[in-house]
Amino acid sequence: MMFSKAYRKIFCSAILLLLAGCATVPKAPQFFRPGVQLETLTAAVSVSVKTPTGGTGGNGYLAYRKPDRLRLVMLTPFGTTALEFCTEGDRATLAIPSKDVAYVGAVADLPEGNGMQVWRLMSWAVEADPLYDPALPGTVARSDAGGGRYLAYYGDDGLLERKVTEEGDTVHYRDYQSIDGAPLPSVMEFSDTRGVRVKVTLKEPEINQPLEDAAFSPHLEGLSITPLSQFRGM
C-alpha cells in the first residue's frame, strides 16, 4: 500500500512537470528575409464586414498580381459563387450571378457606407511596401500608384504593422507567418472614416507563383452589364 501511494505521487508529479514543460515551450522563431515584396498572392479567405447599418461575412478565395490585378470570389454556403470583385488599375467589375448582373466602372464609383468602398484598398494593402525591413525607421511617408500620400508604420521587429492614408483609411497587418522566408500577415483589417470595418483572414496562402491573366477574369457569361455607379447593394 505504501509503495502504491508513493508510486501515485511520483506519477502525478511527473505528469505535472510534463504539463508545465509543455506549457512553457516557446514557439520556434520565424525567419523573415528583408525587403521581400509580394509579386503574386493566392489564398482562401474568410471575410467579415461590419458597417454602421449591419454586418455580413463569408468565405471565398483571392488572387493578386502586382501592380494592380485583384480578384476576390465570395462563395455561398453551398459552394456556388455569391459575387466576384475584380480590379485592374482604376477599373472594377462586380458580378452577382444570382441577380444575373455585373456592374462595371471606375473603382471610385463603388458606393460608400456598405463596405464595398473598402475593397479599393485591397491592392493598396499589398502593393509597394516591404512587409519586413529591420533597417526602416518606425514611420515612413510614401505615395501610392495613384499619387495619394500615406504613412507606413513598422514595429521594433521590422514588420509592417499598419498603413494610413491622408483621408484616414487604415489597414492593420496581424499574425505574420513565414513562407519560405517571405513574411505574410494572416489577418488584414481595414477601416475607413465612415465606420466600415473589414477583416480578411488568409488561409493556405501561396505567394510569388506565376499567375496568368485568366486568373483575374470574372465570369460574365449570361450577365447583363450595368454601370457600377448604379449598384445599390446586395
Q: What are the tens digits of pLDDT across the range 71-121?
A: 999 999 999 999 999 999 889 999 999 999 999 999 888 876 556 666 667
Q: What is the pLDDT of residue 150?
A: 93
Q: What are the tens digits of pLDDT across the range 40-67?
A: 999 999 999 888 888 888 999 999 998 8
Amino acid at 187: V
Confidence band, pLDDT 50/70/90 cuts, at residue 29: low
Q: What is the pLDDT of residue 78?
A: 92
Between CA 217 and CA 195 the distance in angstroms is 31
What structural domains does the chain harbor? 40-230 (2.50.20.10)
Q: What is the pLDDT of residue 7?
A: 41
Q: What are the tens digits of pLDDT across the range 150-197?
A: 999 999 999 999 999 999 999 999 999 999 888 999 999 999 888 889
Task: Map grid coordinates 482562401 to a residue.
Answer: 44
| Mean pLDDT for the chain overall | 83
User: How much of the chain, in percent, has pLDDT values that exceed 90?
Assistant: 51
Confidence band, pLDDT 50/70/90 cuts, at residue 22: very low
User: How much of the chain, in percent, has pLDDT values that exceed 70?
Assistant: 81
